[in-house]
Amino acid sequence: DSGVTQTPKHLITATGQRVTLRCSPRSGDLSVYWYQQSLDQGLQFLIQYYNGEERAKGNILERFSAQQFPDLHSELNLSSLELGDSALYFCASSPNPGELFFGEGSRLTVL
Amino acid sequence: AQSVTQLDSQVPVFEEAPVELRCNYSSSVSVYLFWYVQYPNQGLQLLLKYLSGSTLVKGINGFEAEFNKSQTSFHLRKPSVHISDTAEYFCAVSDTGRRALTFGSGTRLQVQP
């Protein structure tokens, strides 16, 4: 158990819909990262937050957004969903440079 | 920007044999290097990391890796693998000023009895 909690574990929805994925980082970790894992793209960095502020942005689509709340949990919002958005979405938190602790992921299926 | 190349998508090996998983990186600045493992239906777990100092890094589960700056490599090795080592292994890099990691495409290690 990494200490990072992600919900929901599985989500099935239709094209055009919007979903929200939630992440609770390890106690004391201020940084939260979101990654997307798919068969064709591999592990892609989406966005990082540090203590409520956006720190770095990767290959995140404009249809996607995220935020980190004062209690440090984070949400990733995916809207106008397309078939190609089907993937595993991982959240990770970090106490030190590069030492990311990953949650078990949220598997999104878009039909 | 950094990039990571994992040269082998799959590596089959017999139990108790040695294994090496190859990783090369590209970066114009100093880097941190990592190996993560992903077991089926689980998240990624840190195996080992190189931040500075000794170029030979030891990690969990008997794995080790060697940082070679001249060859821009960070290959992962284990002298004797077990069935339980069957998993996907990811090499990752970040520059020393950022914290987000860039991952390679992964190497599937298949340990056969």
Nearest-angstrom CA–CA distance, B56 and B7:
20
Share of chain A above pLDDT 70, in %: 99
| Closest to A82 (Cα-Cα) out of A18, A34, A22 | A18
Contact A45 B100 (CB under 8 A): yes
Determine how β-strand A106-110 pairs with β-strand A10-13. parallel
- For residues A26-63, one letter each, b for 16 or more C-beta atoms within 10 angstroms of the residue's C-beta and e for the rest, the string is beebbbbbbbbbeeeebbbbbbbbbeeeebeebebeee
* pLDDT of amino acid A44: 93
- Put simply, whether A36 touches B (Cβ < 8 Å) is no
Select from B36, B99, B104 the Cβ nearest to the Cβ of A94.
B99
Taking 70 as the threshold, does the pLDDT of residue A47 lie above it? yes
Share of chain A above pLDDT 90, in %: 85
How far is the first Cα of chain A from the last one, in angstroms, to the nearest whole number?
31
Q: Which two tokens stand for residue B103?
A: 């991952």
The amino acid at residue A11 is: L
Taking 70 as the threshold, does the pLDDT of residue A33 lie above it? yes
Nearest-angstrom CA–CA distance, B81 and B32:
26
- Which of the four pLDDT bands, split at 50, 70 and 90, describes residue B99? low
* pLDDT of amino acid B49: 92
- Put simply, whether B1 touches A (Cβ < 8 Å) is no
**A17-21, A91-95, B28-32, B33-37, range with the lowest pLDDT:** B28-32
Q: Which two tokens stand for residue B20?
A: 């090496």
What DSSP assignment string belongs to A37-68? EETTTEEEEEEEEETTEEEEE-S--TTEEEEE
Contacts of A31 in chain B (CB under 8 A): 99
User: What residues 40-99 of chain A have any CB closer than 8 A to a CB of chain B?
Assistant: 42-43, 45, 48, 50, 55-56, 58, 90, 92, 94, 97-99
* pLDDT of amino acid B98: 64
- Put simply, whether B101 touches A (Cβ < 8 Å) is yes
pLDDT tens sequence across B44-69 = 999 999 988 889 999 999 999 999 99
| Closest to B103 (Cα-Cα) out of B112, B93, B113, B89 | B93
- Mean local confidence (pLDDT), A67-88: 96
Better-scored residue on pLDDT, B49 or B97: B49
Taking 90 as the threshold, does the pLDDT of residue B28 lie above it? no
Output the average pLDDT for chain B: 92
What DSSP assignment string belongs to chain B? --EEE-S-SEEEEETT--EEE--EEE-SS-EEEEEEEE-TTS-EEEEEEE-SS-SEEE-GGG-EEEEETTTTEEEEEESS--GGG-EEEEEEEEETT----EE---EEEEEE-
- Put simply, whether A3 touches B (Cβ < 8 Å) is no
* pLDDT of amino acid B64: 97
Taking 80 as the threshold, does the pLDDT of residue B94 lie above it? yes
Better-scored residue on pLDDT, B95 or B104: B104
